[in-house]
Structure 1
Amino acid sequence: MGIARSGLLRLHRWLSLSAMLFWALQAASGVLIVFHWELEDALIRAPHHQTDLAAIETRLSELVPPGSGLIIESMWTSGGASDRYDVYVETSDGEAERTIRIDGAGNVLRTLTPAESGVLDTLVGFHHNLLAGEVGSWIVSLSGLLLAGNIGIALFLAWPGRQRLHALRPPPKAMRGIPKAYGWHRAIGFWGALPALALSLAGVLLVFQDSAERWLAPTSTATPTEPWTITSPPGFGKVVEAAMALYPDARLADVSFPIADSAVWRVRLRTDGEARRAYGRTTVFVSGNNGQVLANLPASDAAPSRAFLDGLFPFHTGEIAGLPGRLAVVATGAWLLTMALLGLVLWKMRRRTR
């Protein structure tokens, strides 16, 4: 048992030293982006206006005039304020063109091209995939698995016996040197290990969400399809009104526009009781020919496996528990940074002693 424990301790130490910098950067970027939606909206100094669907429809038609070769792919809530939206405009061949933020009255607040991104967007991209696409996602997910394994090892090593609960308290003031550094490392590490383990595993599952969906085989409903049959279809305003009439108190989350071979709009709403703070999962499909609802999929009726997968993101970001949950995620990120610093200090002290 002693040999096995010694081997695990050595493995924990070298895993920590090898990946410490990467984990610290991931933790720091995660802490900084927990409130990035609100920060991003706060940086845009403009008055707020209640959502006016007719005004937004007028603005959208101006953004993609006939003959421009541009289409609107989707429109999403900004996530920071309930009356601001990001409109994703692209060319007809699917190439990204620009992202336009508008307010509830359709006023343009900013325009970003794919080459333009702010500090917050860069931090989000780094945290998700190191700004390196699919390869970066794999690196992040593998590092998350290593982190989860390392936390599991540390938790096993720090688990106290019945007579050793005192080891999980801060070390006495009289203690000095390596024993004191180790005491702090063990005590702080033990109490933050389980939240960090859960958040890191949720992050890994988010990267592999498509694979997780196939494995869990959640019940899904096929997207309705419908060919175009009229030349003057109902516009954005009437379509969204039809969806929101089913949920009068809901908040508009996003709208996916119809495409050339299908006259179906997808409207997603955030209804009361959903774990997501802004990007709800209640989905309504509306006909682009007559504005009639084709399918209504409330988030509350989702199968358990689907609800589990939809809950990964709000759990990882803390949204699932509101403001206290998001602050807990910030605290967990700060915990990981603290553990990295304490571990490095302890390692240096031991090397100096040797």
Structure 2
Amino acid sequence: MPKAGSQKHRNLRDWVLDTHAWMGAVAALFILSVSITGIGLAFTGSLMKLETGALSVSGERSTLVDIDNLIEAAQVKAGETFLPVGYLGPSAEIVTPAEMIYGMSDRPENGGEVQIISFDPASDQVTGTFYLDRTWTHHLIDFHYNLLAGTVGLILIAVVGILMAALAIMGVWLWWPGRGRAWKKAKKTSFKGPWITKSFRLHGLAGLWLSVTVLLWGLSGTYWSKPDWFPKGLTPQTDRMASTLPSEFVDATCGSAISVGEAVSFALNEYPKHRLFEAEFAAPWQNFHVLYLSYGSDTDQLDADTRIWVHAQCEGLSVSESLSGAGKAGAIAQRLHSGRLFGALRVPIIILIGVALILMSLTGLHLWWKRVLRPRPRLNP
């Protein structure tokens, strides 16, 4: 006669197994979508270069960037109606060695589109121009981030990340042998037998070895999509640090005109040994420039660790802040999820993780399909 404790354990295991199966079935198509597009994102620079014919480079920059010169060249290339809005340095938002000036092809009220002019940093020559929203690569990025569904898509992706983390935890618990002989069980795994058995064992073994990776990628994906679900002290990117500019800065009108280049020179004097990583220019909707400065190995590798606002009308008026303390944890999570944490190994690691998630999703769907449509005696792991 079975012991009561053993029966309770089996009941709990059956409940976790059913929950794991149904959660996996619900999340599988979403996980497949973000895994496939995530692999694609490892090649965004190359894909955008192939699609647009822009972003070619002949070498790295050997001098300080003359931002005013790039803006002038972009204006000439894009036409008189072009409204410059910002600058992207090498490997900023898009992993490419090219530099870019981006802006609106015309004012928004006139139907302007986001237009990008790319430069070779070694020569400051224009290498191409394209409309961002017309590129398939940009749609690929948006699909990965929000399923092309805006705020609703962000929430769905965030929920999928939580489901991935929960599936990883439950999967390890289900796979773990009752007497704790995990290594022995892993070594003795055989893939002989019918396809359902192969799927079952492959799903369990891959899930075990990649459980920590799936857990971290799921939670970091949730964090990137909905950082407001996490403690306020954590910050996903420097450009999303919560900041309130003083009223005297926002409301000041001094009458002079501070160019982007002058603002950059002022910022670099305030932060010597830094370099300009990104910039947002003063525009009809804001009377200040926002500069992102990089120094050494930044924690936030998409927007650098230091942000400085320089008033576009009042000389010497600025506000600055740097990523520090607990806020760096968010930037590290972002680096992990984007693969930038791994440097030169970024692409192969993203491909490996993406393929593993695809494999686990397909085998998980196979197992769920068999359980629902053709239920059979439970398989022993």
Q: TM-score range by the shorter chain?
A: 0.7 to 0.9
Indicate the residue corresponding to 1:307 in structure 2.
Answer: 328
Structure 2, unaligned stretches of length 5 or more?
Answer: 1-8, 377-381
Give, in whole Å, the separation in 1 of the partners of 2:231 and 2:83: 30
Relative distance call for 1:102 and 1:33 in structure 2 (3 A) is: same
- Cα gap change, 1:228 to 1:59, in 2 (>3 Å): farther
Q: Which SS does the other structure have where 1:329 is aligned?
A: helix
| In 1, Cα distance between equivalents of 2:175 and 2:19 | 14
Q: Contact 1:228/1:261 (CA < 8 Å) preserved in 2?
A: no
Describe the superposition over 1:119-166 as per-residue Cα deviations: whole angstroms up to 9, x where unpaired. x21211111111111112122222222222222211211123333422
What does residue 57 of structure 1 align with? Answer: 71
Report deviation, 1:279: 2.6
Matched, 1:319 2:334: no
* 1:261 shift after superposition: 7.4
In structure 1, the residue matched to 2:297 is 273
Measure the CA separation in 1 of the matches of 2:342 and 2:214: 16
- Between 262-271 and 42-51, report the one with greater CA deviation: 42-51
The 2-side partners of 1:112 and 1:135 are apart by 25
TM-score (ref. length: structure 2): 0.77
Q: 1:208 to 1:134 in 2, by over 3 A?
A: same
User: What's the CA shift for 1:187?
Assistant: 1.5
Shift of 1:345: 4.4
Whether the 8 Å contact between 1:270 and 1:280 is mirrored in structure 2 is yes
1:243 corresponds in structure 2 to 267
* Distance across 1 between alignment mates of 2:231 and 2:370: 47
3-state SS of 1:23 partner: helix
After TM superposition, the structure 1 stretch with the greater mean CA deviation from structure 2, 190-199 or 21-30, is: 21-30
Corresponding residue number in structure 1 for 2:245: 223
Distance in 2 between the 1:40 and 1:84 partners?
A: 13
Query: What's the counterpart of residue 360 of structure 2?
Result: 339
SS of the counterpart of 2:301?
coil
CA contact (8 A) 1:167 1:183 kept: no
1:102 is matched with 118
The aligned residue for residue 23 of structure 1 is 31
Distance in 1 between residues matched to 2:40 and 2:87, nearest whole Å: 25
One-letter amino acid of the structure 1 residue matched with residue 54 of structure 2: I
Aligned to 2:130: 111
Where 2:203 maps in the other structure, the secondary structure is helix
Q: How does 1:201-220 map to 2 (within 5 A)?
A: 201-212=219-230, 214=232
Which letter maps to 2:253?
W
CA distance in 1, matches of 2:345, 2:303: 19
| Distance change (3 Å), C-alpha of 1:135 and 1:241 | same
Q: CA RMSD in A?
A: 3.3
**Equivalent of residue 151 in structure 1, options 165, 168, 172:** 168
User: Are 1:130 and 2:147 an aligned pair?
Assistant: yes
For each residue in 1:196-217, what CA deviation from the matched residue of structure 2 results, as whole angstroms up to 9, or x when unmatched?
1111111111121245364769
Of the structure 1 ranges 276-285 and 87-96, higher mean CA displacement relative to structure 2 is found in: 87-96
Aligned length: 345
Structure 2 residue aligned with 1:73: 85
Q: Distance in 2 between matches of 1:211 and 1:14?
A: 25
CA displacement at 1:221 relative to structure 2:
4.9
Q: In structure 1, how many angstroms separate the alpha carbons of the residues matched to 2:322 and 2:77?
A: 31
Aligned residue for 1:292, secondary structure, equals coil
Q: 1: CA distance between counterparts of 2:336 and 2:231?
A: 17
Q: CA deviation at 1:292?
A: 2.8
The code of the aligned residue for 1:138 comes to: I
Structure 1 residue matching 2:170: 3-state secondary structure: helix
C-alpha separation in 2, matches of 1:150 and 1:291 = 55
- Label 1:191 to 1:32 Cα distance change in 2 as closer, same or farther (>3 A): same
Does structure 1 residue 13 correspond to structure 2 residue 27? no
Distance of 2:96 and 2:170 partners within structure 1: 42
Deviation string, structure 1 residues 171-212 (Cα, Å, up to 9, x no partner): 247x43354443322222100011111111111111212453
Query: What is the CA–CA distance in structure 2 between the aligned matches of 1:80 and 1:230, rounded to whole Å?
Result: 39
Q: Distance in 1 between matches of 2:276 and 2:339?
A: 21
The residue type equivalent to 1:52 in the other structure is D
> Which one-letter code corresponds to 2:72 in the other structure?
T
Q: Does the CA contact (< 8 Å) of 1:269 and 1:280 recur in 2? A: yes
Give the C-alpha shift of residue 112 in structure 1.
0.4
Range 334-343 or range 105-114, more displaced: 105-114
Q: Is the 8 A contact 1:71 1:92 kept in 2?
A: no
Q: What is residue 283 of structure 1 aligned with on the other side?
A: 307
Instruction: Mark the CA change 1:38 to 1:290 in structure 2 (over 3 Å): closer, same or farther.
Output: farther
User: Deviations for 1:12-37, whole angstroms, at most 9, x for unmatched residues?
Assistant: 12222333222111111111112313
